[in-house]
Amino acid sequence: MQLEQTLRTLCALPAVSGFEMQAAKAVAELFRPYCDTVDTDKNGNVIGSLSCGKEGAKTVMLDAHLDQIGFLVTEVLDGGFLRFAPVGGVDPRMLLGGEVTILADEPLYGVVSCMPPHLLKAGEQNKAVPIDQMAIDTGLLDAKSRIRVGTPIVFAQQPIKLAGGQLCSKCLDDRAGVAAILLAMEKLHAAKDKLKCNVAVLISTQEEVTELGAQTGAFTVQPEYAIAVDVTHGRTPDGPSDGVFDLGSGVAVGMGPNLHRGFTKALIKTAKANDIDYTLEIMEGNTGTNAWTMQIVGRGIAMGLLSIPEKYMHTPVEVVKLSDVQAVADLMAEFLRGFDGEVGA
């Protein structure tokens, strides 16, 4: 499996939170060669399973979220302009002049209107425009007959390969996590006869708004253990010095109150034994990922969290390094090849 092309394929799938079903069906087909069963549920979750065939074997679930931040059309104005509302955490400062795709029956393109600097009044240059005062320009005189209120909108940017093995794209949060799980499952399927635990896959919906896809999906699977795979903040010159990670530093292994201590230590031990680069991500409370939600499903799930450093999160130009995605995949595969379902405290 070629990682860069897999990421390009995944990032091309539109899946605004709550509108994931079409993308879910495509992702299910990507996982089908590496799972015994793959299905999509009524919420759009992709759920797959790979059985080790051993009676009483424990199950480890690998989760990454499919949905992306985006927008919904709230009003269609004269002249082909649209009012819109955000879905998920969107920073209005980076929207003006941005390119978007309106997911109507036939996808349409538009740009977020922006005032030329010549026309701005004194003091307006440094003020962020509220999203409810922005408009998308489609240029369509028949927009009212082609675009309905409630239509989802996504960023239109295409993936760009940067120097140093980096890829820039929309929605790498969390298609990078999906790609890592896909790579791990390819390796695990090839070593299926050596597995001592069952492996489940959950590519979950609505993480950016409620995390309820992970909750319902985990309730369906009922695993003893789960690993949430997500992105974390990459280091940039204008960012903070703490709580961020260099791209190329490998896996960010979460450690916090809702992450099972023994399970986390076992993941770290595997990374050391296999010379997989990693750093520790210390979390004082809610991780802001599906790990927090899944921990309390059913009788409780022992959680681990593996993250991929990413620059410019929740923008159209998110950046990851391919080697970090590969490191997360390698750690999951190596860990699960030898995991018998038992960890210490």
CA distance linking residue 8 with residue 27, whole number of Å: 13
Q: Which residues contact 337 (CB under 8 A, 6 or more apart)?
A: 187, 188, 191, 194, 195
The residue type at 189: H
Could you tell me the sign of the dihedral formed by the alpha carbons of 2, 175, 290, 202, in that order?
A: negative
Say if residues 325 and 249 touch (Cβ distance below 8 Å): no
DSSP 112: E
Q: Tokens standing for 270? A: 């595997």
User: Any catalytic annotation for residue 207?
Assistant: yes
Cα 117 to chain centroid, rounded: 35
Beta strand 108-112 with 160-162 is: unpaired
The residue type at 87: V
Burial class (CB in 10 A: 0-12, 13-18, 19+), 121: exposed
* Helix ranges, the chain (H): 3-11, 21-31, 143-146, 172-190, 212-221, 261-273, 290-295, 322-338
CA angle 264, 269, 274 (to 5 degrees): 130
Across the strands, what pairs with 196? none
Say if residues 264 and 304 touch (Cβ distance below 8 Å): yes
CA distance linking residue 61 with residue 285, whole number of Å: 22
Across the strands, what pairs with 307? 230, 252
Catalytic hit among 207, 211, 224, 334: 207
Burial class (CB in 10 A: 0-12, 13-18, 19+), 163: exposed
Enzyme catalytic residues: 207
